[in-house]
């Protein structure tokens, strides 16, 4: 599947760029303006996780269609230290970096589909979809 948008995450300015360009791409399909802010917020959290935990990685955004519904796919990928316990990382309030720990559980609530794959020492990939209503 072709990628509509790929943004390398290396600096904190890339976090802002990823969420703004992701939002602009999502605005091509009939998402509400609050959906667009939700999408931008989720991309921001994922990009920050890459920047904070892995140092660098990338965000990919695609416009997708399934069963006649249009939506957006977001992939966040890094080759960082990985997450030892992915189930624990999805619990509200959990964080290893001493921050708020609201990132992943919150992001999962914002999207319709959410998949987290991670292997210690190999990296982390988050794949998610949100469908336009």
Calpha distance 86→83 (Å, rounded): 6
**Closer to another protein by Cβ: residue 51 or 80:** 51
Contact 19, 40 (CB under 8 A): yes
Contact 20, 36 (CB under 8 A): no
Number of residues that bind another protein (CB under 8 A): 27
| Binders of another protein in range 73-112 (CB under 8 A) | 92, 99-100, 102-103, 105-107, 109-110
Q: Beta-strand (E) ranges in the chain? A: 5-9, 57-66, 69-78, 113-119, 123-131
Examine residue 10 and tell whether it contacts another protein (CB under 8 A): no
> Residue from 4, 5, 6, 20 that binds another protein (CB under 8 A)?
20
Q: What is the DSSP string of 59-95?
A: EEEEEEEETTEEEEEEEEEE-SS--S-HHHHTSTT--
> Residue from 40, 59, 72, 116 that binds another protein (CB under 8 A)?
40
**Closer to another protein by Cβ: residue 66 or 99:** 99
Give me the residues that bind another protein (CB under 8 A), please.
Answer: 12-13, 15-16, 19-20, 23, 33-34, 36-38, 40-41, 44-45, 48, 92, 99-100, 102-103, 105-107, 109-110
């Amino acid at each position: 599947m072709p990628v509509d948008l790929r943004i390398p995450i290396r600096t904190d300015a890339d976090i802002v760029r990823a969420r703004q360009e992701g939002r602009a791409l999502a605005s091509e399909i009939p998402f509400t303006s609050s959906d667009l802010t939700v999408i931008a917020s989720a991309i921001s959290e994922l990009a920050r996780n890459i920047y904070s935990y892995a140092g660098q990685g990338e965000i990919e955004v695609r416009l997708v269609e399934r069963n006649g519904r249009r939506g957006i796919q977001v992939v966040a990928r890094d080759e960082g230290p990985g997450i030892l316990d992915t189930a624990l990382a999805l619990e509200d309030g959990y964080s290893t970096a001493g921050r708020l720990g609201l990132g992943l559980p919150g992001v999962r609530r914002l999207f319709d589909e959410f998949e987290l794959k991670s292997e210690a020492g190999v990296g982390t990939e988050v794949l998610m979809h949100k469908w336009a209503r």
